[in-house]
């Protein structure tokens, strides 16, 4: 049967069906009941987008609930036609042959020969094709369970009960505008879980930030209480390999609590939180500052001192920015701080910053990198800079005793924009920004954020 998994999960890496402790079926039944499913009516879950996190998220659900085929259908959509180049096919072949479980699984499915042929250059593999066998193009070294893949967007989403947005923020608006055309005849809105970590900015009629959940709400008309955000701390490949991880699902209470219970697994603990805005904005900000963290690490030969100084400055800017966007933002502590830390430590944006600083990548290569996918921090730098440089949003600089655009109080963000977007400064300029003796103590920026009512509802498109 398509979408099924061969065999039991004999080890954390065997990529088979999961046999978790008692209660898994009960959690599925509980969610089915809340959504109004009757016996014989499948709960339909579809992931939209097959990047690393979107693929792992769908695979976690498949592992946990895929055995209950009469009660739930789990599928993932990705665009057709993306080819796997020869060097990637060769590496994929090596990954397959390094794992006895994966090799056996592909032989049983009569799928192994095509990887042999692709390695030899005798045939072309496609990204949606290998995804069915459990290989994500952005995460080749981590095989996941086989997934049911759909390449027709209308077929994937038209009757879905739960849609998981695994798209980059830069693609979310366009794809969900298309999806909205397929939902015109729906009697009830679906539940949407967004994994996207990035933001966009709009300047007319007033400067405002647009988060992925807002994009989805505006594109589809699905009520915001049905749209939730899931954040870390976590790295996708490590989660699938059973590293213990935490996450939070944020949004309206109606769905976040039952979904937190549904998503929870022994190695993947999901809490719930009402502060959608702070978590979603932090999801975009951490990618911005992760690029700089990667640069600092490479330029200073992994100096712990330099990295910690950078961490102090970038987190103070994150705190300052969230106080502009949220009346009572959750403090950057606990899991929210940990999510920032793990991204600066090992996320794809930090990797991108390192590769730029080492000269192994160039800005001319763009922000879509082979084997990694979209580097969301690049577009987020541009969006936050555009937004925070508007003089209409001026705040009082207590050092200079005059109103300034918020970006003037965020020197790391300013420097990253000049490096990545304007290309006016070399990569090494991030060190100068860090070592500038005129820069204020980061504690001053935090105290400023905590002690003044900077909150501007208009930045979120609110009256």
Residues acting as catalytic residues: 286
CA neighbor of 269 nearest in space, from 257, 260, 278: 260
272 closest CA partner among 260, 254, 283, 284: 260
Q: Which two tokens stand for residue 222?
A: 């699905």
What span, in angstroms and rounded, lies between the C-alpha atoms of 440 and 459? Answer: 26
Question: How is residue 402 written in tokens?
Answer: 């005059």
Terminal-residue alpha carbon distance, the chain = 52
In angstroms, the Cα distances linking 254 to 31, 227, 257 are: 12, 11, 7
> Residue 415 corresponds to which tokens in the numbers above?
């420097």
The H or E element containing residue 292 is helix 276-299
- Give the orientation angle of helix 442-451 with respect to helix 304-325, to 10 degrees: 20
C-alpha to C-alpha distance for 97 and 93, rounded to whole angstroms = 6
230 beta partners: 249
Neighbours of 204 (CB within 10 A): 6
Residue 314, classed as helix, strand or coil, is: helix
Nearest to 27 by CA among 274, 271, 260, 270: 260
Give the phi and the psi of residue 229 in degrees, each rounded to 5.
-125, 135
Long-range contact set of residues 399-407: C-beta below 8 Å, sequence gap at least 24: 399/440, 399/444, 406/320, 406/321, 406/324
**Kind and range of the H or E run holding 268:** strand 268-273
User: In angstroms, rounded to a whole number, what is the distance separating the alpha carbons of residues 205 and 56?
Assistant: 39
The full DSSP string for 72-108 is: EEEEEE--S-PEEPHHHHHHHHHHHHT-HHHHHHHHH
With a CB cutoff of 8 Å and minimum separation 6, the contacts of 308 are none
């Amino acid at each position: 049967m398509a979408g099924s998994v061969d065999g039991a999960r004999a080890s954390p890496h065997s990529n088979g069906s999961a046999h978790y402790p008692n209660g898994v079926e009960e959690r599925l039944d509980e969610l089915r009941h809340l959504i109004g499913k009757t016996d014989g009516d499948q709960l339909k879950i579809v992931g939209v987008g097959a990047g690393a996190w979107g693929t792992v998220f769908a695979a976690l659900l498949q592992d946990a609930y895929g055995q209950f085929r009469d009660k739930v259908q789990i599928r993932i959509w990705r665009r057709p036609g993306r080819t796997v180049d020869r060097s990637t096919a060769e590496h994929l072949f090596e990954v397959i042959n390094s794992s006895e479980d994966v090799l056996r699984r592909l032989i049983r499915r009569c799928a192994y020969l095509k990887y042999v042929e692709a390695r030899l250059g005798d045939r072309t593999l496609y990204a949606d094709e290998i995804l069915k066998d459990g290989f994500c193009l952005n995460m080749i070294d981590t095989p996941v369970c086989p997934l049911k893949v759909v390449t027709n967007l209308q077929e994937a989403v038209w009757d879905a009960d739960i849609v998981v947005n695994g798209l980059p923020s830069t693609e979310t608006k366009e794809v969900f505008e298309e999806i909205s055309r397929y939902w015109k005849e729906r009697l009830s809105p679906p539940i949407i879980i967004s994994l996207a970590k990035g933001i966009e900015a709009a300047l007319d009629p007033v400067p405002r930030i647009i988060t992925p959940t807002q994009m989805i709400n505006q594109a589809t008309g699905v009520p915001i209480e049905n749209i939730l955000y899931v954040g870390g701390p976590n790295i996708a490949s490590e989660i699938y390999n059973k590293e213990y991880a935490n996450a939070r699902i944020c949004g309206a209470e109606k769905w976040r609590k039952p979904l937190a219970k549904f998503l929870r697994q022994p190695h993947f603990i999901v809490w719930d939180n009402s502060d959608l805005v702070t978590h979603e904005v932090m999801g975009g900000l951490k990618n911005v500052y992760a690029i700089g963290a990667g640069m600092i690490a490479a330029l200073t030969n992994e100096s712990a001192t330099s990295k910690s100084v950078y961490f102090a400055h970038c987190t103070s800017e994150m705190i300052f920015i969230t106080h502009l966007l949220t009346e009572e933002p959750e403090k950057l502590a606990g899991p929210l701080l940990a999510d920032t830390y793990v991204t600066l430590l090992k996320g794809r944006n930090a990797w991108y910053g390192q590769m730029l600083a080492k000269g192994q990548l160039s800005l001319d290569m763009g922000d879509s990198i082979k084997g990694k996918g979209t580097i969301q921090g690049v577009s987020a730098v541009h969006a936050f800079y555009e937004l925070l440089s508007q003089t209409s949003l001026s705040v009082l600089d207590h050092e200079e005793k005059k109103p300034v655009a918020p970006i003037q109080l965020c020197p790391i963000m300013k420097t990253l924009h000049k490096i990545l977007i304007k290309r006016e400064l070399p990569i090494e300029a991030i060190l100068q920004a860090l070592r500038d003796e005129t820069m204020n103590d980061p504690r001053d920026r935090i105290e400023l954020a905590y002690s003044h009512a900077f909150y501007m509802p208009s930045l979120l498109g609110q009256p």
